[in-house]
Amino acid sequence: MWESPFYRFRYPKNPNNWDSDELYEIVIDVSLTPPSQAKPAQSLITVLKKVFELYPNIQSVLDFGAGKLRVTPFLLKEGKEACAIEFEKTTQNKTAQMNLAKCQNYGNRFKQLVFPNQFLTDTQKFDLIILINVIPFMPIFAERIYLLSSLNEKLADNGLILWFAFKETPEYKKARRSKKFSCGDGDWKRSNARVKTFYKYHHPNELNKIFGICGFEIEKFYPNSVQDIRLYKKNKYNLMKTLPTIPQIKGEIPDDSSIKPDTVKLKIVKESDGFKKIVPNPLNLSIEQLFIKALKSMPYGTENANRYHRLISYIFGHIFQDQIRNMKFEEDLSGGIKRIDTTFDNVAQDGFFSVLPDKNNKINCPIIIIEAKNYEKEIKNPELDQLSGRLEPNCNLGISISRFIEHQDYQLKKCQKYLIKNEFILCLTDEDLIKLLVYYQNGLIDEITDIFLERYKDLVLKREKASIIK
């Protein structure tokens, strides 16, 4: 991983059939993607000036994936300390050497690190990190998570990351939908060249998720018709700090130097002839599996309550990403009296949260309310009473998520007592979330809906038997 800018894959020729015998051999060079111009785009300069004006304490800036060092001279001219990181190969061209000479005129305020070893071992903390068209060109999802988690550790407390990347063009969208150029969760490019490049567009909602699980929260975004420009701030909750690891990535995605393109046309080999798949998105490194590993390794107790709360919120939001959005932590819906762990807006057109609003039972759920408890023991009446106290007639569905429930039938009866007040509380555990993640990873969306409908029916169809449990 990262020893060179070259990535070698054997990817199913038919991306819709993972068991396809025919495999494409693809070589991707991530160093081919930097823009050709010698100077940074004016839109980037404008945003950087706004950031420096809004955050005058920014002194040290890391230009990660600096390419031809287009931005670094500007940072130094603005009086900042600048560190540029790039593959050695990328910094050898004429434009990069010209910009390097400019940077070296600033003496100790400039530092250049060769990627990856010098980056991984350097201990400097930065106030701002700039990511300009970097992650969209990285073909391995797990590497993107590893990078964001590593950058979190490189930032000072409350440090910032500026994301600057091209929006998806109609041409890219058309190619993506055709699946003709599929490679992992993105597409390979440069059909007229032996060595390809990679591109994956990240929708802002997806960006917020991957930044969020790596310990960042959205600070500000800058409207632009061509680029997505977003500013993220570091927080205390890097949920991927030890996931994934470099050995895990190398173990799942070996580098096979025998993959060498002879022509611009992709070479086809067969798995039945002994050629092994090497894919950028192996199941063991999927976001679902990373969530499962993070959940299983989360310690019990109040010390990790906020980490658990955030983790299960991101998991829940991921599983139901087509039905809910606008996740908010510690939401205040009643003038400071009732603070809720997590809320989502219900925008479902299909699935459980679209069919749940029930006129007969008077269920209203324009907002999905979640309370999380990282207890070593089973939650009891006080915790359910707390969630009940967050509910209102116009928003009367609550979801309680805890580490485990030892007595499911007894817990159900405790939840049924709130039906008297026309309040509906569903209880989930770590085990439930893991099951739902596996279902989601395998595309079993209807089965996820069925699980929730079954829980709902267990709750309401026995309402006449509900009793007060003290």
Residue type at 38 in one-letter notation: A
**26 inside domain:** no
| Percent of the residues in the chain that have a pLDDT greater than 90, as a whole number | 84
pLDDT of residue 2: 66
The pLDDT of residue 9 is above 60: yes
The pLDDT of residue 450 is above 60: yes
The secondary structure of residue 275, as a DSSP letter, is P
The mean pLDDT of 352-363, rounded to a whole number, is 76
**156 inside domain:** yes
CA 342, 343, 349, 352 dihedral sign is positive
**180 inside domain:** yes
C-alpha–C-alpha distance, residues 257 and 406, integer Å: 52
Same domain, 309 and 410: yes
Same domain, 242 and 389: no
Same domain, 237 and 160: yes
Residue type at 313 in one-letter notation: S
Q: How confident is the model at residue 355 (pLDDT cuts 50, 70, 90)?
A: confident
C-alpha–C-alpha distance, residues 453 and 393, integer Å: 21
> The domain spanning residue 241 has which CATH number?
3.40.50.150
Task: Tell me the pLDDT of the chain averaged across its residues.
Answer: 93
Neighbour count for residue 120 (Cβ, 10 Å): 12
Alpha-helical segments (H) within 268-322? 287-296, 305-319
- Token output for 462: 């026995």
The pLDDT of residue 43 is above 90: yes
Distance of CA 230 to the CA centre of its chain: 14
> Which whole-number Å values give the CA distances from 381 to 377, 387, 422, in the listed order?
13, 10, 17
Q: How confident is the model at residue 470 (pLDDT cuts 50, 70, 90)?
A: very low
Neighbour count for residue 198 (Cβ, 10 Å): 26
pLDDT of residue 422: 92
Decide: helix, strand or coil at residue 425: strand
Domain limit, last residue, from 197, 223, 250 = 250
| Number of domains making up the chain | 2
- Least Cα distance to 228 among 404, 85, 43 occurs for 43
pLDDT of residue 32: 87
**b/e string for 301-337 if b means 16 or more Cβ within 10 A?**
eeeeebbbbbbbbbbbbbbbeebbeebebebebeeee
Domain limit, last residue, from 224, 250, 276 = 250
Decide: helix, strand or coil at residue 284: helix
Same domain, 167 and 227: yes
Q: Which of 76-80, 162-166, 334-338 has the lowest mean pLDDT?
A: 334-338
pLDDT in tens, 183-228: 999 999 999 999 999 999 999 999 999 999 999 999 999 999 999 9
User: Residue 108 is part of which domain span?
Assistant: 40-250
CA 152, 153, 154, 157 dihedral sign is positive
> Which whole-number Å values give the CA distances from 32 to 1, 91, 193, 342, in the listed order?
17, 12, 11, 42
Same domain, 327 and 191: no
**267 inside domain:** no
Q: How confident is the model at residue 335 (pLDDT cuts 50, 70, 90)?
A: low
Same domain, 77 and 132: yes
The mean pLDDT of 1-24, rounded to a whole number, is 89
Domain limit, last residue, from 205, 224, 250 = 250
C-alpha–C-alpha distance, residues 415 and 469, integer Å: 9
C-alpha–C-alpha distance, residues 28 and 199, integer Å: 10
C-alpha–C-alpha distance, residues 240 and 210, integer Å: 10
The mean pLDDT of 325-352, rounded to a whole number, is 86
Same domain, 45 and 191: yes
pLDDT of residue 34: 62
**260 inside domain:** no
**100 inside domain:** yes
**263 inside domain:** no
Residue 23, beta-bridge partner list: 12, 269
The mean pLDDT of 273-298, rounded to a whole number, is 97
Whether residue 154 contacts residue 162, with contact meaning beta carbons closer than 8 Å, is answered with: no
| Percent of the residues in the chain that have a pLDDT greater than 70, as a whole number | 94
- Token output for 307: 């980490």
**464 inside domain:** no
Same domain, 239 and 90: yes
C-alpha–C-alpha distance, residues 337 and 392, integer Å: 13
Same domain, 168 and 304: no
Whether residue 319 contacts residue 370, with contact meaning beta carbons closer than 8 Å, is answered with: no
- Token output for 82: 């600048």
Whether residue 148 contacts residue 214, with contact meaning beta carbons closer than 8 Å, is answered with: yes
The pLDDT of residue 394 is above 50: yes
Residue 370, beta-bridge partner list: 342, 399
pLDDT in tens, 179-194: 999 999 999 999 999 9
Same domain, 86 and 164: yes
Q: How confident is the model at residue 298 (pLDDT cuts 50, 70, 90)?
A: very high
> The domain spanning residue 344 has which CATH number?
3.40.91.30
Residue 377 CB partners (closer than 8 Å, separation 6+): none
Residue 429, beta-bridge partner list: 402
- Helix, strand and coil content of the chain, in percent to the nearest 5, comes to 40, 25, 35
Same domain, 300 and 355: yes
Predicted TM-score (pTM) of the model is: 0.94
Same domain, 241 and 296: no
C-alpha–C-alpha distance, residues 281 and 274, integer Å: 21
pLDDT of residue 1: 57
C-alpha–C-alpha distance, residues 364 and 356, integer Å: 8
Q: Which of 12-26, 146-160, 435-449 has the lowest mean pLDDT?
A: 12-26
Query: What is the secondary structure of 319-335 as a DSSP string?
Result: HTTTTEEEEEEEEE-ST
Is 115 exposed, middle or buried, given 0-12, 13-18 or 19+ CB atoms closer than 10 A?
buried
